[in-house]
Amino acid sequence: MIARDPTPSRRYSLVAIAFHWLIALLILFNLYLGWSMDHWATGMSKFSIFQLHKSIGITVLALSVLRLLWRLTHKAPPFPATMQAWERTAASVTHWTFYALMIVLPFTGWIVVSASPLNIPTLLFKTVPLPHLGFVHDQPIGTRTAIDHGIGTTHLVLAYIFGALILIHIAAALKHQFIQRDGVLRRMLP
């Protein structure tokens, strides 16, 4: 009979680590695309960049739902005993805020696309058609225009909040790695 180690794992599972880094790279690239596409693209190249932005956003949405399901069914490793209560609370709030943003931000983008009076179709990675959200797209054009403007602003504000939260998250990880040296960053490294 194989003896089990009674101490909980100090690292995330390989699945959780893969989700983390894949989604993180997609989000960083998509934030870059979203914030810069108006500055360096016109015509069909801008159209292609918007399509790529939407494709990555929907991919992040799908992967984030899977990641959230994984997280709800697999316990995270414990925090180091050296972490203070406020740090544990801040880390937990940050992580759950990330989950919310990883789902809400792409969903607001999908609402904007569905509300747009231009009726531009979305082809995920130039292949798979993504339908408009019927509860938005079926509204009268005046309502859709209002939704497009309001949710478009929300989408942009959430993107800036997400970017700021990512910077705080990176700064905290580096603080734990190089100042506190408590192994927090190693829990998520491949």
Q: Which domains are present in the chain?
A: 14-188 (1.20.950.20)
Q: What are phi and psi of 182, to 5 degrees?
A: -105, 5
**Mean per-residue pLDDT, 20-42:** 91
**Is the pLDDT score of 92 beyond 80?**
yes
pTM: 0.90
Residue of higher predicted confidence among 69 and 5: 69
Q: Give me the pLDDT at residue 10, please.
A: 85
Q: Give me the pLDDT at residue 45, please.
A: 85
Task: Let me know: does 165 contact 94? Beta carbons within 8 Å.
Answer: yes
Q: Give me the pLDDT at residue 9, please.
A: 65
